[in-house]
Amino acid sequence: MLLTKTIIADDHALVRAGLRDALANLPEIEVLAEVGNGPDLLQTAFNLCPDLVVMDVNMPNFEPVDAVKKIRQRLPEVKILVVSAYDDQSYVVGLLAAGVNGYHLKDQPLSDLQMAVQRILQGGRWISDPLVNRLVTHQEAAQHPQMLSRRQRELLYLLSQGYNNQKIALVMDLSVKTVENHLTALYRALGVESRLEANTYALHHPEQVAIPEEERRHNEHNSETFSALVVDDNPRYRTQLAKLIRKTHPLTQVYDAEDTPEAAKIAQRVQPRLALIDVVLGDEDGIECARRIRAVSSLTRMVVMSAYPDREFRRLALGAGAVAFLDKKDIDAATMRQLVEDALAASLKPS
């Protein structure tokens, strides 16, 4: 049996080990090398001429679209499977257009990863199911833009803020049943089937969103300045979280850091009310980062996050002073709103 020569590329050793273990169940796979950054991936691929590259898109010194084009130009027969936590539609489409054979989300089962590898080795394409739904919805929405009523645009805004039906009813002065009926009509107008898909539509069509007058007055009333610190070695994810925080509290001053020394320095200077810390910071430990922040800014509410939730990580994070340990994929608008509101409320309590 001919073996499929494979390279694994991810900047976290723990993730590479997980990918290697998953691929070990496929007898035709032979892992030739593992790399953790962009230059090493290109050099290793050009030297070893693999049959398959399994890679993350967020690594040091790495521009994935450009790298895929270079690999595809030098090694036209190689199969490329992206395995990433990053699920933005435009990003996925760009990589598919550059020449990857598949895009797999990290939060999907390992059995799906094995199916993805087998599919592309057989000459097919692979896109994780959640991505397929989002891409189709995005394409249909772009091809058929809807004209929404004022009430539907206000409803879309409240959905994008993570409000449940009860809170929407309160803001819009409607019954919960009426809100449910309006939601059904809104989904039909947008061509979507869920709150998640409607929220995705709102993100890509801000011109279709309108803030209800009652909510506008509420936001103006709660215009207190708020500071937050995001600590993550992935610059794209730091930007994504910063946008989510500002969306929840527009006047927030968001600081960001990629490692523990930088985070501790900012925390000591700024004394942020909220800190979001990834449990893995390159070769560093997010738990130790939480301890350092606690030592220099005792009133900061710290939340440790991970793309790979683990009970031991959670125990260590809470022991280091964090108030919560969250799965990254669960951090949405509603969760962020709650984190910010809790931090604001905590700052008002007497010390």
Q: Which residues contact 179 (CB under 8 A, 6 or more apart)?
A: 155, 165, 168, 169, 172
The gap between the terminal CA atoms of the chain, to the nearest Å, is 69
Residues of the chain with confidence (pLDDT) below 70: 1, 88-91, 133-146, 214-225, 347-351
Domain coordinates of the chain in residue numbers?
4-136, 145-217, 222-348
What are the helix (H) ranges across 122-234?
129-143, 150-160, 165-172, 176-190, 195-204, 213-221
pTM score, whole prediction: 0.45
Where does 4-136 sit in CATH, by number? 3.40.50.2300
Task: Give the DSSP per-residue string, 268-326.
Answer: HHH--SEEEEESEETTEEHHHHHHHHHHH-TTPEEEEEESS--HHHHHHHHHTT-SEEE
Residue pair 26/118 in contact (Cβ under 8 Å)? The answer is yes
Residue pair 117/83 in contact (Cβ under 8 Å)? The answer is no
Residue pair 325/309 in contact (Cβ under 8 Å)? The answer is yes
Which CATH fold would you assign to the domain 222-348?
Rossmann fold (3.40.50)
For 29, the 3-state DSSP assignment is strand
Candidates 350, 344, 291; CA nearest to 318 is 291
CA atoms of 301 and 339, how far apart (whole Å): 9
Residue pair 19/52 in contact (Cβ under 8 Å)? The answer is no
Residue pair 31/5 in contact (Cβ under 8 Å)? The answer is no
Cβ–Cβ contacts within 10 Å for residue 155, how many? 26
Q: What is the DSSP letter of 208?
A: G
Identical fold between 4-136 and 222-348: yes
- Residue 88's pLDDT is 67
For the purposes of burial, counting CB atoms within 10 Å of the CB of 65, is it exposed (0-12), middle (13-18) or buried (19 or more)? middle
- Residue 225's pLDDT is 60
- Residue 334's pLDDT is 84
Q: Which residues contact 219 (CB under 8 A, 6 or more apart)?
A: 211, 250
Query: Which two tokens mark 155?
Result: 């409803």
Query: Which two tokens mark 347?
Result: 């700052």
- Answer CATH for 145-217 from 1.10.10.10, 2.40.10.120, 3.20.20.70, 1.10.3720.10: 1.10.10.10
Candidates 275, 235, 136; CA nearest to 194 is 136
268-272 long-range Cβ contacts below 8 angstroms, 24+ apart: 268/296, 268/297, 270/227, 270/229, 270/297, 271/227, 271/297, 271/299, 271/300, 272/227, 272/228, 272/229, 272/297, 272/300
Residue linked to tokens 């309006």: 182
For 31, the 3-state DSSP assignment is strand
- Residue 212's pLDDT is 76
Task: Give the DSSP per-residue string, 148-167.
Answer: --HHHHHHHHHHHTT--HHH
Candidates 222, 151, 240; CA nearest to 189 is 151
